[in-house]
Amino acid sequence: MEDTFKLVVPCLLGVEGLVGDELRHMDAQNVEPQNGRVLFDGDAAMLARANLCSRYGERVLVQLGSFRALSFEELFQGVKALPWERWIGKNDAFPVKGSSLNSKLASVPDCQSIIKKAIVERLKQKYHVNWFEETGALYQVQFLLMKDVVSIMIDTSGAGLHKRGYRANATDAPIKETLAAAMAYLSRVRSDGVVVDPFCGSGTILIESALYAMNIAPGLRRHFAAERWEGMGPEIWQREKERAQDLVRRDTGFTCYGYDIDGAAISLTLENAKKAGVISCLRAEKRDITAFRPAGERGNVICNPPYGERLLDLKEAEDIYRTMGTVFAPKQKWSYTIISPDETFEDCYGRKADRRRKLYNGMIKCQIYMYYKS
């Protein structure tokens, strides 16, 4: 395996800058944010570190190469020329998946087949075998065809990085963990601060805020595909896990409060917080939004309120927005960060946001509305 290689972190549209900043903070080299992804250079230790510590990225990929392909023959030869034997052993599994956008080679199944065949032909020559059992470690090959340029990658993460390991169960229409973490960052959550979510659901925003405030690496409680790879031995992962553990701040004084009208959601929030290791700083109870009051000297309200696509009743959603506009009273040292896909949110809420930011919750285009002026 090479000492250093090109790595890629795909991410939700709108958080590329956050991913770039956190990678630089991890000491990644040549960080280059692009549309929906961030490229950087790193070694095996950086590969492990990015998997363990990235709050906003969706997964970590090794980029083997990039080239132009207008025909299946060009695709085949371009893939075959890549150094697959540096990564994939003769017993390892290497399934192929990917996507094609605005490219002449538009058939994804055909591209999958050609890429698989090219890898097999390369490895046949290198290992002098005619058949690959693929019973070993998983090397998930991914390709992206964009405007006739092919990027060929191997996924190091396995399950997406948003799967932190604490949310086995979730309420309807949960917010993605990576997006919740981004909201905590954008809200400038303090290590000694207070975060309140009056629509806490399964507790994702509260838990991600706590992990952020205490600097707990989000990947510490899960495993990654590359842990089984040759050249990515357990000592590398152990070293990076110990590094991440050393950076945890347990004595911060951070507290978060979750409220929801659904008692089952409260139970789920507490259960997930326990799995995430942040139960000591989290309180949750059944309470309606009408009872909310900004108590204390300072705090951040961060929430993903029910909206039309989730409730199937737009009027009910708009009524909730109006109530929020009333109970989320401007108060010095208090801020309110709200995500919604509803273009009429500010009209119902009753005030224009002090700042807005466009982000995606899955495939749903949303706005984050930030209120912090008293």
Q: Write down the pLDDT at residue 311.
A: 54
pLDDT tens digits in sequence order for the chain, 374 residues long: 558 999 999 999 889 999 999 999 999 999 999 989 999 999 999 999 999 999 999 999 999 999 999 999 999 999 999 999 999 999 999 999 999 999 999 999 999 999 999 999 999 999 999 999 999 999 999 999 999 999 999 999 999 999 999 987 655 557 899 999 999 999 999 999 999 999 999 999 999 999 999 999 999 999 999 999 988 889 999 999 999 999 999 888 999 999 999 999 999 999 999 999 999 999 999 999 999 999 889 999 999 998 765 555 778 888 999 999 999 999 999 999 999 998 899 999 999 999 999 988 777 889 999 999 98
Partnered with residue 140 across adjacent β-strands are 155
- Using CA atoms, how far residue 209 sits from 23, 83, 215, 217, 364, in Å, is 19, 41, 10, 12, 22
CB half-sphere exposure, 103, CA atoms < 13 A: 24
CB half-sphere exposure, 222, CA atoms < 13 A: 24
Other Cβ atoms less than 10 A from the Cβ of 34: the count is 12
Q: Write down the pLDDT at residue 308.
A: 61
If 0-12 CB within 10 Å is exposed, 13-18 middle and 19+ buried, where does residue 235 land?
exposed
For domain 177-215+242-371, the CATH architecture is 3-Layer(aba) Sandwich (3.40)
Partnered with residue 68 across adjacent β-strands are 149
Q: Are 61 and 8 in contact (CB under 8 A)?
A: yes
Q: b or e along 312-331 (b: 16 or more beta carbons within 10 Å of the residue's beta carbon)?
A: eeeeebbebbebbbeebeeb
Which token pair is 93?
């599994």
Beta strands 140-146 and 149-155 are antiparallel
- pLDDT, tens digit (0-9, with 9 covering 90-100), for 53-110: 999 999 999 999 999 999 999 999 999 999 999 999 999 999 999 999 999 999 999 9
How many residues are there in the chain?
Answer: 374
Q: Write down the pLDDT at residue 307.
A: 77
Q: Write down the pLDDT at residue 72.
A: 97
Sequence spans of domains, the chain? 5-155, 177-215+242-371
Q: b or e along 168-207 (b: 16 or more beta carbons within 10 Å of the residue's beta carbon)?
A: eeebeebbbbbbbbbbbbbbebbeebbbbbbbbbbbbbbb
Domains 5-155 and 177-215+242-371 share a fold: no
Query: Which of 69, 81, 67, 87 minimizes the C-alpha distance to 5?
Result: 87
Which token pair is 335?
């801020």
- In sequence order, which ranges of 277-370 are alpha helices (DSSP H)? 308-311, 314-327, 345-349
List the CATH code of the domain at 5-155. Answer: 3.30.2130.30
